[in-house]
Amino acid sequence: MSVKQSLFGFAADGKEVTKYTIKNKGGSFIELLTYGATWLSCFVPDRDGVYQDVLLGFDDMDGHINRSNYQGQFVGRFANRIANGRFTLDGVTYQVVQNEAGTKSLHSNGEFSHAVFDAEIVSDNAVAFSFTSPDGTFGFPGTVTASVTYTFTDENEVVLDYRAVSDKTTLINLTNHAYFNLGGCNSGDVLDHEMMIDADAFTPTMPDSIPTGEIRSVECTPFDFRQPKPIGRDIGADYDQLINCKGYDHNFCLNAGDGVKVRVYEPKSGRTLSMTTDRPGVQLYTGNFLDGKKGKSGCPMTKHAGFCLETQVYPDAPNHENFPQCTYRAGEEFVSRTVYKFGVNLKK
């Protein structure tokens, strides 16, 4: 195992952006950036031993600054959406940034995603990134210090260990916004990827993508991924939830217990991905609004070119008492782990 670092470029404010490369004994490697604590790339083999990058993204800082849809970035303080940018803690109502359509908060205006993090190589296969958000940033209470440590194992596991603490009661909901395409980042759409999600329910949304508050069974709906099926099998179904979002952009309520929560298989390459997490939900987003902006090697990222598995509490959680919550008191530490493991199915 080894970790190497190099200059990647410069952020809009002139700060240097460093790239870290972690390579394992099998020859697979990942790349990480201090900008947004971004998971930049992931080179893993197919069934024929051919290594390809399975993450959508950009080759330079211009792409990350000017064309990004959060590709690979660390998201916080509150990942996903908050209705009207408003919530109440201990009887105090907070009005935070409404950066999506002027009516709701999305990913806390990308504060963490566009910050340049401090970084430290903590072992021969791990890098830790940290950032402090001042009290009141975009309306959120508390000074929050957050970190994510990426560890890359010889078993092709990418382990994300999140930690955060605030000096005031606040919301903490951290995730990573990687876009996966197991056929390779420039190989077309992901509709043939076969996916299993260990979830008996999901949270339907209104047309503005804010949850209704209902926790709906996946039974007899296009959202039933309990048995593996191609992502594209039902994505065009005449079902209001898919029509409103032009595909999947929904939180799945993960079943309790240990074990793999999501499995994905790409038939042409044979690559597989399994995900474990201690979070109660995962947002499946199928790149419905990717619009052809140039990504790696200048290739356009078009609709459904990647899928996201954003582990989280449910969207708009502070405004729904029946949802798992993410309120943390002063000094109370947020700790979470998500693991993405890559493999190969040798059968053609």
**Tokens representing 262?**
């999501």
pLDDT of residue 94: 98
Residue at 22 is within a domain: yes
Which residues on adjacent β-strands are paired with residue 178?
A: none
Type and span of the H or E element at 23: strand 16-23
- Count of domains in the chain? 1
What phi and psi, each to the nearest 5 degrees, are found at residue 147?
-145, 155
pLDDT-based confidence at residue 1 (cuts at 50, 70, 90) = confident
Q: pTM for this structure?
A: 0.97
| C-alpha torsion angle, residues 162, 167, 173, 179 (rounded to 10) | -50
Distance CA 246, CA 230 (A): 17
Q: Is 310 a catalytic residue?
A: yes
What phi and psi, each to the nearest 5 degrees, are found at residue 54?
-105, 15
Q: Give whole-number Cα distances, 38 to 94, 133, 193, 311, in Å.
A: 29, 17, 24, 16
Q: Is 333 a catalytic residue?
A: no
| Parent domain of 53 | 2-190+263-344
Residue at 69 is within a domain: yes
Type and span of the H or E element at 62: helix 61-66
**Length, in residues, of the chain:** 348
Residue at 297 is within a domain: yes
Residue at 232 is within a domain: no
Distance CA 278, CA 256 (A): 9
Q: pLDDT for 170-200, tens place per residue?
A: 999 999 999 999 999 999 999 999 999 999 9
Residue at 145 is within a domain: yes
Q: Is 24 helix (H, G, I), strand (E, B) or coil?
A: coil
Residue at 328 is within a domain: yes
| Annotated catalytic residue, options 177, 193, 250, 320 | 177
Around Cβ 68, how many Cβ atoms within 10 Å?
21
pLDDT-based confidence at residue 347 (cuts at 50, 70, 90) = confident
Residue at 144 is within a domain: yes
Distance CA 65, CA 290 (A): 16
pLDDT of residue 346: 82
Q: pLDDT for 327-346, tens place per residue?
A: 999 999 999 999 999 999 98
Residues 6+ apart with CB under 8 A from 311: 175, 176, 275, 277, 279, 281, 282, 336, 338
pLDDT at 348 over 80: no
Which residue shows structure tokens 């670092």? Answer: 5
| Annotated catalytic residue, options 31, 111, 266, 310 | 310
Q: pLDDT for 6-53, tens place per residue?
A: 999 999 999 999 999 999 999 999 999 999 999 999 999 999 999 999
Residue at 179 is within a domain: yes
Check which CATH number belongs to the domain holding 48 and give it. Answer: 2.70.98.10
Distance CA 102, CA 214 (A): 24
Query: Sign of dihedral through CA atoms 31, 308, 195, 147?
Result: positive
Q: pLDDT for 257-310, tens place per residue?
A: 999 999 999 999 999 999 999 999 999 999 999 999 999 999 999 999 999 999
